[in-house]
């Protein structure tokens, strides 16, 4: 395993985030037919300060397969658009009813509910438009569209959200909880890694390894997210904390306890690291990102 220093990784991540945000600005210019308020609502949520984990994963996956990260940017931005749409909709009164996200008022709190729903809808459709237009060759673009639709759709992230909403009143066990998060959070992590590998035209063994890294990382991320909801700072997180226990929600700390949850997250990260070991130095950023995910405070 090739370790790089935390400073080297932070410098890389800051540069890559700036590139991602530049592309997100460019791809949300829209034409003159887009109403000003809608464009403003989309950008309010999409360009707010945040970690950009999923687009970073797309770029790092492409790089691990020896590809130039700039060429993976359409897929990276598409994933971030879908993720942001899911956050906007998740924050609505009909779902989690939150007023704070990414350190600022949620989309419906800043604008209104109808505008927030429509901003989410527009981000969802823009994601596929960008991939279809900007990825080449066309068969790779089509494959990326199918992969992202399936990860985000009725058997992926949306299914996980349905189960999670139902789970607030149910008493499932660890397997049930992991199954929900494999779809709700894990599917978007996995597809980020897959898209990077697909645009890089990686072989099936590379694709499987990156997929498996994404699955383990996604679950570890969710465990840490649950832990931060218990003891994280609202200012650092940029969203309300303590809401899971307020609602009696099924979470990893509630099922396993704090220490066993931390242990499980670290175990998953070790397993994720083992998956990308074979890539050598090309996967150094994926390794640093996995460590960052468990050590983060936001
Ligand atoms: C509404 C279809 C639909 C799906 C919603 C992603 C999701 C499904 C809900 C978000 C609610 C939530 C808190 C999920 C737990 C994990 C998660 C996805 C956290 C937010 O992701 P971060 O921490 O956020 O990567 P930033 O803002 O940094 O991008």
Total length of the chain = 298
pLDDT at 207: 98
**Residue 29 DSSP label:** -
For ligand 1, whether the C-beta of 225 sits within 6 Å is: yes
- Rounded mean pLDDT, 116-130: 98
Residue nearest to atom 27 of ligand 1 (CA): 50
Classify the phi-psi angles of 63: left when phi > 0, otherwise alpha if psi is within -120 to 50, otherwise beta.
Answer: alpha
Q: How confident is the model at residue 216 (pLDDT cuts 50, 70, 90)?
A: very high
Q: Which structure tokens are listed for 192?
A: 């980020």
Query: Given ligand 1 and candidates 182, 185, 222, which is best to mutate, with the most ligand atoms within 8 Å of its CB?
Result: 185
The pLDDT score that the predictor gives to residue 44 is 98
Q: How close is the Cα of 21 to the center of ligand 1, in Å?
A: 18
Per-residue pLDDT tens digits for 3-39: 677 778 899 999 999 999 999 999 999 999 999 999 9
Q: Is 102 in the pocket of ligand 1 (CB under 6 A)?
A: yes
Query: Average pLDDT in the 177-205 region?
Result: 96
* Average pLDDT across the chain, whole number: 94
Q: What is the pLDDT of residue 249?
A: 81
Confidence of residue 2 (pLDDT cuts 50, 70, 90): low
Residues 282, 296: Cα–Cα separation, whole Å:
23
Q: In the predicted model, is pLDDT for residue 217 greater than 70?
A: yes
Alpha helix locations (H) across 182-203? 187-199
Residue 106 pLDDT more than 60?
Answer: yes
Tell whether the model's pLDDT for residue 169 goes beyond 60.
Answer: no
**Burial of 280 (C-beta count, 10 Å sphere; 0-12/13-18/19+):** exposed
């Amino acid at each position: 395993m090739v370790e790089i220093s935390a400073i080297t990784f932070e410098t890389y991540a800051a540069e890559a985030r700036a590139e991602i945000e530049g592309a997100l600005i460019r791809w949300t210019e829209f034409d003159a037919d887009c109403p000003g308020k809608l464009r403003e609502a989309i950008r309010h949520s999409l360009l707010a300060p945040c970690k950009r984990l999923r687009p970073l994963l797309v770029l790092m996956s492409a790089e691990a397969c020896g590809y130039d990260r700039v060429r993976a940017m359409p897929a990276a931005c598409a994933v971030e658009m879908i993720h942001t749409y899911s956050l906007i909709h998740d924050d609505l009164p009909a779902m989690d009813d939150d007023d704070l996200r990414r350190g600022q008022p949620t989309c419906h709190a800043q604008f209104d509910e109808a505008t927030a729903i429509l901003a989410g809808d527009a981000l969802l459709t823009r994601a596929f438009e960008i991939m279809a237009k900007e990825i080449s060759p066309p068969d790779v673009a089509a494959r990326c569209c199918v992969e992202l639709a399936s990860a985000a759709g009725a058997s992926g992230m949306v299914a996980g959200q349905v189960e999670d909403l139902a789970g607030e009143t149910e008493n499932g066990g660890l397997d049930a909880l992991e199954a929900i998060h494999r779809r709700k959070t894990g599917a978007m992590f996995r597809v980020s890694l897959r898209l990077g590998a697909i645009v890089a035209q990686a072989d099936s063994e590379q694709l499987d390894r990156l997929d498996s890294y994404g699955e383990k990382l996604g679950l570890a991320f969710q465990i840490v997210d649950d832990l931060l909801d218990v003891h994280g700072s609202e200012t650092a997180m940029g969203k309300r904390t303590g809401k899971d226990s307020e609602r009696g929600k099924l979470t990893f700390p509630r099922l396993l306890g704090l220490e066993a949850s931390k242990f499980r997250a670290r175990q998953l990260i070790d397993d994720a690291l083992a998956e990308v070991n074979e890539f050598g130095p090309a996967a150094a950023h994926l390794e640093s990102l996995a460590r960052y995910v468990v050590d983060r405070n936001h």
